[in-house]
């Protein structure tokens, strides 16, 4: 065991505040980022809950809910590209939802094919629900949106763009952020959208490819060939594209960034102060080493070693806390996306912070003088 780690363990009470500060910073960063990613997952729900390999929409479409109508005829371009197994139509657009008891909400219609192997039908739909949705003007919403859309009231009739609709079921896992997602068939979507969706136009063409690798190649090929008229993306690309768009558009990342920065700053100050006072407490022992000719940089290295270990232990304590809080958040319906990039990023940033704190604490090493040992 290194002298730095051994000292840290022996004097753990002294170093505890520094370790806790690192833990606090790491939890704050990981959780903020995880919450943000979890939150913006909602923006790509239509992509993430379907089985399409490829999404073809309007040129440079920034997000799944911002697709403009494209001619249905583009289907031949997609279907004619080697590697594509099947293509289907997808009609999606914002619409005005009138609650049964009055009042309106903006909703987002998602009209897809409904057969068993439909690429655009959300995977959470049961066989019965798919059948029910084939009825004219039948819709399904997420159970979390039922109250918001006033569908818990059996009296009255809900309308979309002024046309009566019937709720035939609810699903879980398609929670919305702003406008509730409303699932229906392509024909219902066309009917409800009316002039908002020009004749022989769709919002997206969804394709299944021979393999995910092949989907990448097909997307690249379509993009290079027809990039001036339409946009082609693999489902992973389109999902990420949608999330990134809303993340930067809403500037939520900046707000989260500030909060994380504040956490880092507080953590850095406490860690630096802990290391400073811990080093000052061992000043006489270090002074002896200096008197015996041990170079000052060796002592500085030990302080930096301690700051590194403070960071590592802080991170090790932060991870279980993050996972616990993720579980707690899930119980109240909030998704914290703690993907490995988030956990690794939080570790790198906070260990970096601990090391910088160590550098600040080095001023206590500079103050050590062997002369102070003489009376």
Partner 1 sequence: MTPWAGSSSTPSLKGVNLVRTFGDGTARRAALQKVSMDLFPGQIVLLMGPSGSGKSTLLAILSGLLEPDTGQVLADDDGVLRDVWQMNGKEREHYRRKHTGFIFQGYNLFPALTARQQLEIVLKWGEGVSSGDARRRADDMLDKLGLAKNKHKKPAQLSGGEKQRVAIGRALVKNPSFMFADEPTSALDWENGQKVIELLRDAAHQRGASVLCVSHDHRILPFVDVYYHLDDGHLERRALPVE
Which of 93, 89, 132 lies closest to 112 in space, CA to CA? Answer: 89
Shortest Å, Cβ 313 to partner 1: 15
Shortest Å, Cβ 299 to partner 1: 8
Exactly one of 79, 254, 291, 344 binds partner 1 (CB under 8 A); that residue is 291
Shortest Å, Cβ 285 to partner 1: 5
What CA–CA distance (Å, rounded) separates 130 from 168? 10
Give the number of other CB atoms < 10 A from CB of residue 7. 21
Exactly one of 160, 287, 312, 368 binds partner 1 (CB under 8 A); that residue is 287
Per CB under 8 A, contacts with partner 1 among 6-45 are 6-7, 9-11
Shortest Å, Cβ 355 to partner 1: 20
What CA–CA distance (Å, rounded) separates 59 from 126? 33
Q: Does 366 bind partner 1 (CB under 8 A)?
A: no
Exactly one of 249, 284, 330, 366 binds partner 1 (CB under 8 A); that residue is 284
Shortest Å, Cβ 289 to partner 1: 7
Which of 251, 255, 336 lies closest to 39 in space, CA to CA? Answer: 336
Contacts of 231 (CB under 8 A, 6+ apart): 56, 57, 58, 59, 60, 61, 223
Exactly one of 293, 331, 332, 340 binds partner 1 (CB under 8 A); that residue is 293
Q: Does 348 bind partner 1 (CB under 8 A)?
A: no
CA end-to-end span of the chain: 35
Q: In a 3-state reduction of DSSP, which class is residue 233?
A: strand
Binding mask 103-132 for partner 1 (x = CB under 8 A): ------------------------------
User: In the structure encoding, which two tokens stand for residue 84, read together?
Assistant: 């594509």
What CA–CA distance (Å, rounded) separates 197 from 176? 23
Number of residues that bind partner 1 (CB under 8 A): 23
**Which residues here bind partner 1, judged by CB under 8 A?**
3, 6-7, 9-11, 282, 284-285, 287-289, 291-295, 298, 370-371, 373-375
């Amino acid at each position: 065991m290194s002298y730095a780690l051994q000292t840290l363990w022996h004097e753990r009470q002294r170093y505890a505040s520094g370790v806790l500060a690192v833990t606090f910073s790491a939890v704050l960063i990981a959780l903020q980022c995880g919450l943000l990613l979890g939150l913006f997952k909602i923006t790509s729900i239509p992509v993430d809950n379907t089985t399409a390999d490829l999404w073809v929409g309007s040129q440079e479409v920034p997000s799944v809910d911002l697709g403009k109508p494209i001619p249905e005829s583009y289907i031949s371009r997609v279907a004619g590209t080697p590697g594509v197994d099947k293509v289907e139509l997808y009609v999606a657009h914002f619409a005005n939802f009138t609650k049964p008891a009055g009042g309106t909400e903006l909703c987002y219609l998602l009209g897809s094919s409904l057969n068993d192997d439909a690429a655009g039908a959300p995977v959470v739909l049961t066989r019965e629900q798919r059948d029910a949705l084939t009825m004219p003007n039948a819709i399904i919403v997420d159970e979390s949106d039922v109250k918001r859309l006033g569908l818990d009231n059996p009296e009255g009739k809900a309308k979309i763009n002024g046309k009566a609709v019937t709720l035939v079921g609810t699903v879980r896992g398609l929670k919305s952020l702003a406008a509730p997602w409303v699932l229906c068939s392509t024909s219902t979507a066309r009917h409800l959208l009316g002039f908002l969706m020009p004749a022989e136009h769709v919002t997206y063409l969804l394709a299944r490819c021979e393999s995910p690798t092949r989907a990448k190649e097909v997307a690249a090929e379509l993009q290079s060939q027809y990039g001036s008229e339409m946009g082609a993306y693999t489902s992973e690309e389109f999902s990420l594209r949608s999330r990134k768009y809303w993340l930067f558009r809403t500037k939520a990342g900046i707000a989260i960034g500030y909060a994380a920065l504040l956490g880092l700053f507080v953590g850095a100050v406490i860690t630096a102060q802990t290391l400073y006072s811990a080093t000052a407490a061992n000043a006489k022992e270090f002074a002896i080493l200096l008197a015996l000719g041990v170079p000052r940089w060796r002592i500085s290295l030990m302080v930096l070693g301690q700051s590194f270990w403070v960071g590592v232990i802080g991170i090790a304590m932060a991870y279980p806390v993050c996972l616990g809080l993720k579980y707690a958040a899930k119980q109240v319906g909030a998704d914290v996306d703690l993907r490995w990039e988030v956990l690794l990023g939080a570790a790198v940033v906070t260990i970096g912070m601990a090391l910088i704190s160590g550098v600040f604490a080095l001023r206590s090493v500079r103050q050590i003088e062997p002369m102070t040992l003489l009376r």
